[in-house]
Amino acid sequence: MENQNRPLVSIVIPVYKAENYIGKCIESLQHQTYSNLQIILIEDGSPDSSGRICDDYAVKDDRITVIHHKQNMGVSKTRNDGLAIVKGDYIAFVDGDDYVASTMIEECLTSIQEKQVDVVVFDISVVENGKTSPRHMDENYFVDIKSAYTALIEDKIPNYLCNKFFKANAWKEIRLKENTDFEDLMIMPLVFKNLSSVYYLQKSLYFYNCDNENSITSNWSAKSKYGLFCSYLYRQPLAEELGMTDFVQYCRHRAIRSAVGGIGFNLAKPELQEKQVEHMLEYLKQEEQSSDMPAIGAKYQVLLYGALHAPFISKLYGHMMFGLERIKKSL
């Protein structure tokens, strides 16, 4: 541990197919107004030059440590490997294709110390087609940790890792579930459940890049749909514990929609393990047979039928969605 006046802040950064963005990401951290940093870059078997770029920066800055994966292990494994070598008193997370405000660390560190809280949550700005759009939250969600936990379960507070600044001990016994996407949605309720205090810093300090088609948070894959499906399954018992009946139904609704989307995407572009597909199919069968299945709309009712009884419908949907995405990107 460092001197209390200059504590060490560890920043965990997964890097995959980010050769056009990682330089800006690293430099936004190098040029922070607070300099006592441990910058951990985990290059996840990226086929482009991301790994070499990380190494080049590390040679010139001894605050940077680079871990290389020989093959792609997924963002959860990547972040866990970063967490395993954290030395700091505080932890932040940044994705390799995003960047942060020059004052992010200093402002978060000042807030977490002055307010004497376990975590600081701050705003992000979305960057798309050269335009930056701030995204703000309702300060009423942060009255106390219980309110924040409930809002987190309901997605009123985004479950991103990247807009939060933690005391390191918040992660002492916790690691992300591996081999799934959208792990933020599952891990954040668990982390917050073990915290005693939170503070909302109403400033956009993180810039989320939507222009990288290879983003590790992309929603256009069977893996991402399966990750969303798992996250909503995970939230159902948490919501039940709090007596959030309406939100339990919402979780079921979203789980069904994510599952039928995942089935269609996987038929059009196979990437899931057989047990993952079976997981979704079994859930959909249970919901189809239940007497209180939530309303999912006509479109998803057709896709539910396709997933369980007419796979060609699901496969056609998957191809159509991938086609629309290609058209969108070409415009």
- Higher local confidence (pLDDT), 325 or 27: 27
Whether the predicted pLDDT of 32 surpasses 80: yes
Whether the predicted pLDDT of 138 surpasses 70: yes
Phi, psi of 9 (to 5 degrees): -115, 125
Average pLDDT over residues 207-231: 78
Q: Indicate the residue type of 239.
A: A
Residue range 144-192, pLDDT digits in tens: 999 999 999 888 898 889 999 999 999 998 998 776 666 667 788 889 9
Q: Could you give the CA distance from residue 207 to residue 94 in angstroms, rounded to a whole number?
A: 10
Residue range 260-305, pLDDT digits in tens: 999 999 999 999 999 999 999 999 999 999 999 999 999 999 999 9
In the chain, the domains with their CATH numbers are 9-209 (3.90.550.10), 222-330 (no CATH)
Average pLDDT over residues 314-326: 89
- pLDDT of 2 reads 46
The pLDDT confidence band at residue 108, using thresholds 50, 70 and 90, is very high
| The pTM of the whole model exceeds 0.75 | yes
Q: Which residue has the tokens 């402002």?
A: 107
- pLDDT of 186 reads 77
The pLDDT confidence band at residue 1, using thresholds 50, 70 and 90, is very low
Q: Which residue has the tokens 């939250």?
A: 137
Q: Could you give the CA distance from residue 311 to residue 27 in angstroms, rounded to a whole number?
A: 48
- pLDDT of 155 reads 83
